[in-house]
Structure 1
Amino acid sequence: MNKTIKKFLLGSLLGAASITSAQAGLLTYQGVTFTSAWSGNVLTLEIDAAGRSGDWTRATGLAALGFNGIGNYTGVSVSTAPGGTSAWKTSSSELNASGCSGGTNGQAGSRLCFSGQQIALADNMVFSFTFSGSDIQAVDPHVKVEFVSSKGKKVGSLLSQTLPASPKTSAPAAGAAANSPVLEIPAEDILPSAALPTADASSPLEAGDPTAIDANPAAVPEPQSITLLLGGLGLMGLIVGRKRRA
């Protein structure tokens, strides 16, 4: 499903239950897409992990999910989760390489760790958490995940990334036209253009005329010159004839 559509649907779904402002976040890491949406004190996270890559390629399951940067809450309930998580537990501990065993760092109620028996990785894994308290920060959540092998061993990174409110894109360089790549061709690969005849004031043919073969054709004798030539030849023939009769 298109990522923009996912963000819209998640925001719409949560907005139906609350008229407060909603904020969505999107992050793709090693072939896995994380889409978050806040609506009031409800945080929904969707994980699409069917196309995982990099050091997550060998992962087969999810064993824990963690958040921080969500403010301070006094209670939390899980309203939506994939099948197989009914026995999972929540805590305010930090998610680390050993699961939800990290300390609260003196910030109890500002972190959330949700963990249990691993569930299979797939697309459309949706989790929704409803927080209680007056100091919830419904902004870009910082997310961690524990992906594991079929034997329950941690595989790859814990992610530990903030889901930005909107994807970052690179702006085109100043003066460059958007979506207009410039193809540079080496000079030695450029074929010379075919020579075209050029205009010459002394030539009776114009440049570009299909009958023009030479840009500077040889001069053609005028009719007067031909007449003089023939007259001269005739006179010479007459003189030669008289000498023979003498």
Structure 2
Amino acid sequence: MKFKSLFTATALAACAALTPVAQASYVLTFQGVTFTMDVVDANSLSLRIQNALSTTDADWAPATHFGAFSLKDLGLDFSVGNATAVATYFGINPNPTANGVRDDLNANGINDGADCEAQTNGQTGSVCFDFDPDVLLLDDMNFQIDFSQNYTIGANGPHLKVAFVDSQGDKVGSLLSQNLPFTASSTSSSGLASSSGDIPEPSSSGLALLGLGLVGASFALRRKSHQQ
């Protein structure tokens, strides 16, 4: 009876690890660069930027670094005193972070170290992240944004603004300011936009767990037969 309970619990745990989670994706390709935003959970989003370094578009091609980005149309209320937002870039070790401020990017006011300046009057309804130092531009860049409150993506999708800069922190080309259109509700075992190759996918973990359970069951049966 103990063996049966153990096997059942192991199988259930493996199935739970294999169960996919619904995930909404918002994708925009603009000037040769693809921006993908995925829902991670009720208060986290992931942002993936692809082909930013290799784009041949004359507007952004001279860029060497990623300066800042802002998000709005998420139903966030940053007038609340303890509201926080943190963006983490996964690309180098240690992973750099940027604390969000209640602000928006302005195409005419971008300069190194002052891309985002907290608004003191009124509520902008947006949150801005400024990485200091600027992040070296790559063709595949992954960020996770964690809010202290739940968000609600508007019907037109999240509005994203991105500033690409040169090695001096000066804006290169035009400021991206676009809604990311809803693309699909996909399924993902992890709920993340992308997974590091160093971390096993949950589906692989589930199969490994199931395999360990079956090996244990085999030993238990063999031991029981010897005892009889």
Q: 2:53 maps to which residue?
A: 50
Q: 1:126 maps to which residue?
A: 142
Q: Distance in 2 between matches of 1:137 and 1:24?
A: 14
Aligned with residue 94 of structure 1, among 104, 108, 120: 104
1:27: Cα distance to partner?
A: 0.6
Q: 1:63 maps to which residue?
A: 67
1:37: Cα distance to partner?
A: 0.5
TM-score normalised over the length of structure 2: 0.57
Pair 1:122–1:24, CA change in 2 (3 A): same
Q: 2:220 maps to which residue?
A: none
* Superimposed CA distance per residue, residues 150-200 of structure 1 (whole angstroms, 9 cap, x where no aligned partner): 222111111110110129xxxxxxxxxxxxxxxxxxxxxxxxxxxxxxxxx
- Contact persistence 1:41–1:131 (CA under 8 A): yes
Q: 2:26 maps to which residue?
A: 25
1:25: Cα distance to partner?
A: 0.7
Q: Distance in 1 between matches of 2:96 and 2:140?
A: 17
Q: Which runs of 5+ in 1 are unaligned?
A: 1-15, 168-246
1:141-152 counterparts in 2 under 5 A? Answer: 141-152=158-169
Identity of aligned residues (%): 36
Displaced runs of 4+ in structure 1, greater than 4 A? none
1:93-242 counterparts in 2 under 5 A? Answer: 93-96=103-106, 97-98=109-110, 99-101=115-117, 103=119, 106-107=122-123, 110-115=125-130, 116-134=132-150, 136-139=151-154, 140-166=157-183
Alignment root-mean-square deviation, CA: 2.8
Q: Which runs of 5+ in 2 are unaligned?
A: 1-16, 78-82, 185-228
* Superimposed CA distance per residue, residues 183-236 of structure 1 (whole angstroms, 9 cap, x where no aligned partner): xxxxxxxxxxxxxxxxxxxxxxxxxxxxxxxxxxxxxxxxxxxxxxxxxxxxxx
- Contact persistence 1:80–1:129 (CA under 8 A): no
Q: Distance in 2 between matches of 1:148 and 1:60?
A: 6
1:79: Cα distance to partner?
A: 4.9
Pair 1:80–1:119, CA change in 2 (3 A): closer
- Contact persistence 1:94–1:104 (CA under 8 A): no
**In the comparison of the two structures, how many residue pairs are matched?**
149
Q: Secondary structure at the match of 1:71?
A: coil
Q: Secondary structure at the match of 2:176?
A: coil
- Contact persistence 2:101–2:118 (CA under 8 A): no
TM-score normalised over the length of structure 1: 0.53
Between the two structures, name the one with larger relative contact order (CA 8 Å, sep ≥ 6). 2
Pair 1:82–1:93, CA change in 2 (3 A): farther
Q: Distance in 1 between matches of 2:120 and 2:104?
A: 6
| AA aligned opposite 1:131 | F
Structure number with larger C-alpha Rg: 1
Q: Distance in 2 between matches of 1:144 and 1:152?
A: 16
1:138: Cα distance to partner?
A: 3.2
